[in-house]
Amino acid sequence: MKLDQIKKIAIAGAGTMGLGIAQLAAMAGYETILFDINAPALEKAKNSIIKNLDGGIKRGKLSEDQKNACLELIQFSTNESDLIADVIVEAIIEKAQIKIDLFNRVATQNNPDTILATNTSSIPITSIAAALPNPERVVGFHFFNPAHIMKLVEIISGAATSKEVAQTMFDLALKMGKKPVYAKDSPGFIVNRVARHFYVESLKVLEENVASHETIDALIQNNGFRMGPFKLMDLIGVDTNYSVTSSMFESFQFDSKFRPSKIQLQKVQAGHNGRKSGKGFYEYED
């Protein structure tokens, strides 16, 4: 499938990443379906998209007409059978089998050439594709948070991914106003491979009581970073960040330098997942 054949895009998962991708798809002029099994999550996603668009209007980036046109193109659904499109993007929990199960279900209700794109941060594309029919149409389509603002998108080809599918998704990212790059199917791809120790080493410093998380963030920011590691983990989602670290720890044969943090695990167990839950390493008000 080529870019000019894409008319409809469906996104599974109405979390922070899913809603951002849905907004981008609609802004690019595509009929868009945003699916989630949780109705309140969909309502929250809709409100977040409206807030994002209103922010764009305030900054002079788009008009009221563009906002309305975007919203008219998005269908919000709790019915998985609505996931019928030319491109289906999953942005659900970072668990390989759950992603595979979803793709297997939607594969039965879509054409064999429907592109199955995963927003996974670290799970090998090859392993996901191997469990699906027509693995050549499975590709990594990895956005960064917040998806509607961050420019980079990783296009990851598994062992079976066709060159045409990878090129189509590269072109789609460009149409969405992004800066796509091709990445090989290796643990963490490019960005998470490079950035993992930004989080892991900061958590080790915290675990060893060398400094507080506030101090570590302040030191990092005073050295030119826009956000410290703990503020960034809260923005991404402490649970999401922990899942990626755990996945990479396994992918690198449990190399100690990728060991997940006990402090981060405790946050996840307590439901302190960052901005989206109102509390992470910091506390947030609505």
- Which one from 77, 110, 154, 247 is the annotated catalytic residue? 154
CA–CA dist 281, 258 (Å, integer): 20
- Which one from 142, 148, 213, 272 is the annotated catalytic residue? 142
Based on the structure, what is the number of domains in the chain? 2
Give yes or no: 261 in active site.
no
Phi-psi region of 271 (alpha: psi -120 to 50; beta: other; left: phi over 0): left
- Listed in sequence order, the residues at least 6 apart from 9 whose beta carbon sits closer than 8 Å to its beta carbon are 25, 30, 31, 32, 33, 85, 86, 87, 88, 89
Residues 179 and 199 in one domain: no
Dihedral sign for Cα atoms in the order 75, 77, 83, 84: negative
Residue among 217, 216, 236, 238 nearest 228 (CA) = 217
Residue 197 lies in a domain: yes
Tokens for 177, please give them: 């106003």
Instruction: Give me the pLDDT at residue 286, please.
Output: 66
Residues 213 and 152 in one domain: no
What is the residue type of 141? F
Give yes or no: 154 in active site.
yes
Domain end (from 147, 165, 184): 184
Instruction: Give me the pLDDT at residue 285, please.
Output: 83
Instruction: Give me the pLDDT at residue 201, please.
Output: 96
> pTM for the whole thing?
0.89
Q: What's the length of the chain?
A: 286
CA–CA dist 172, 264 (Å, integer): 35
Which domain does 199 fall in, by range?
A: 192-276
Give yes or no: 142 in active site.
yes
CATH code at position 217: 1.10.1040.50
Write out the chain's pLDDT in tens, 286 residues.
Answer: 899 999 999 999 999 999 999 999 999 999 999 999 999 999 999 999 999 999 999 999 999 999 999 999 999 999 999 999 999 999 999 899 999 999 999 999 999 999 999 999 989 999 999 999 999 999 999 999 889 999 999 999 999 999 999 999 999 999 999 999 999 999 889 999 999 999 999 999 999 999 999 999 999 999 999 999 999 999 989 998 999 999 899 889 999 999 999 999 999 999 999 998 999 999 998 6
Domain end (from 127, 156, 184): 184
Domain end (from 141, 165, 184): 184
- Which one from 121, 122, 246, 247 is the annotated catalytic residue? 121
Residues 158 and 38 in one domain: yes
Sheet with 74-77: strands ordered across? 74-77, 31-35, 8-12, 87-90, 115-118, 138-142, 152-157, 179-184
Residue 141 lies in a domain: yes
Instruction: Give me the pLDDT at residue 130, please.
Output: 98
What is the residue type of 240? T
Residue 282 lies in a domain: no
CA–CA dist 1, 87 (Å, integer): 9
User: Token pair 């199960």 is at which residue?
Assistant: 101
Residues 172 and 152 in one domain: yes
Dihedral sign for Cα atoms in the order 236, 182, 49, 65: positive
Residues 154 and 77 in one domain: yes
